[in-house]
Chain A
Amino acid sequence: MTAGIAPAEALHSPDATTRTRTEQPYLSPYLAGVGLGLVLLAAFVLVGRGLGASGAFSAVVATGVSAAAPEHAAANPAYTAHLGDGTTSPLEDWLVFEILGVTLGGALSAFLAGRFRLSIDRGPRTTDRSRLMYAFGGGIIMGLGAKLARGCTSGQALTGGALFSVGSWLFIVGAFAAGYLAAPLFRREWT
């Protein structure tokens, strides 16, 4: 276990071998996928719904805005859906607790595999600062896209994909087509 604060110049790791020597290799992507599929299946069977992620972010934003500007939130239908009748916090929500679990499960898995480490993932030709700006900008664009599509890679691609929802498959096709088309613009960031 070599977790801890790394010196700033060591934050960037050009490849997996230099990250730490004690790191376990990743699980086969097919096994990880089957595991993920079984978790999704458990959600379908036990709760009657699939997985999600962007909805939890949305609940956090609704909570913040309703606390900072309650009148603005009450007048905007984008918020009233989260706020309900106002008797329960938007944070008392299935997706919020699921995403807390995702964060916990991710930390636990990384820690046990010796992969927990303060770092920034980027290609060798860019800077940490630039990478963080692109991550923030990418997050803004994905926030817009996920709201418009009513879900992200979890709620639409995985969940709706497994349920054969036409809208979810349109989301998958749109996202990957746009990703490949836009990829040359961001080549410097990654390769």
Chain B
Amino acid sequence: MLANQGNGLFLALVIGVGFGWFLERGGLGNARKLAGQFYLTDLTVFKVMFSAIITAALGLFWLSRLGVVDLSQVYLPPTYILPQLAGGVVFGIGFVMGGLCPGTSCVAMASGRLDGLALVGGMLGGILLFNGLFPVLEPFYHSTPRGDFTLPMLLGIGPGTAVFFLVALGLAAFVAAARFETLRASRE
């Protein structure tokens, strides 16, 4: 969309600053808060992630409806069923072990946390390892391709209906999270 590479990279930097700012403001540079999601002692990860997904999905739906954005110009990550499911499983194990994800490890490192720095180093090592194994992994990496494949396509519903269900499910989950926290506080 942006013809000028230099402007594009400057915009990338600006958008990144906003991304890092809100991750840090929400406490997502703190590995104990992130890991707390997996022991149900801190639901910050869930709350931040789902309010971000809902905000962006709702905003994109309305901006496209109002003709501000052409959705066909927005890059949709293509689907590869098995590699993405398996990659998610591997990633989840690393997530609870490391307590940070790639983006939040940069925020952790930037706020002076040595565990963030260690995780950044590990990520680089893991990618080097994957690339070294790539000749062996390549057939699986390219397996079960589905191209541009969305939940509305899978379920045979319209984009508006999908956004409605996402928001409704999200709000229900936020209420459930609040009840769970009240219950846990009353037991302690």
Contact = CB atoms under 8 A, between A and B. Distances in A.
Contacts of A168: 77, 79, 84
Contact of B26 (A29, A62, A138): A29
Given A36-B52, A142-B94, A178-B92, A47 B17 contact: no
A167 B92 contact: no
Contact of B151 (A11, A26, A164, A171): A164
A173 B80 CA distance: 14
Contact of A78 (B87, B94, B131, B151): B131
B31 A148 contact: no
Interface in A48-106: 48-51, 53-54, 57-58, 60-62, 64-65, 76-79, 92, 94-95, 97-106
Contacts of A185: 97
Nearest to A147: B130
Contacts, number: 531
Contacts of A158: 49, 52-53, 56
Contact of A121 (B84, B103, B113): B113
Contact of A94 (B12, B30, B81, B97): B12
A9 B94 CA distance: 27
Interface in B130-157: 130-131, 134-135, 137-138, 140-141, 146, 149-154
A39 B102 CA distance: 18
Nearest to A191: B39
A157 B18 CA distance: 18
B97 A65 contact: no
Interface residues of B, number: 126
Interface in A132-158: 132-158
Interface string B43-81: 110011111111111011001000011000111111111
Given A135-B98, A136-B122, 20 more contacts: A37-B53, A42-B18, A44-B74, A61-B128, A101-B20, A106-B106, A108-B17, A110-B29, A134-B99, A136-B125, A141-B126, A143-B125, A146-B127, A147-B87, A154-B19, A158-B52, A163-B74, A170-B81, A175-B91, A182-B96
29 contacts: A3-B112, A32-B51, A33-B47, A33-B49, A34-B51, A39-B19, A40-B55, A47-B12, A76-B131, A94-B9, A103-B20, A103-B106, A104-B110, A110-B24, A116-B112, A134-B99, A135-B119, A140-B129, A148-B84, A150-B87, A163-B76, A163-B77, A164-B159, A166-B79, A167-B78, A171-B85, A180-B38, A180-B96, A182-B97
Interface of B: 1-2, 5, 8-32, 35-39, 41, 43-44, 47-57, 59-60, 63, 68-69, 73-81, 83-116, 118-131, 134-135, 137-138, 140-141, 146, 149-154, 159, 162, 166, 174
Lowest 8 A-B CB distances belong to which pairs? A143-B126, A101-B16, A139-B122, A138-B98, A37-B55, A174-B88, A149-B87, A33-B51
Interface of A: 3, 11, 26-27, 29-51, 53-54, 57-58, 60-62, 64-65, 76-79, 92, 94-95, 97-110, 113, 115-123, 128, 131-180, 182-183, 185-187, 189-191
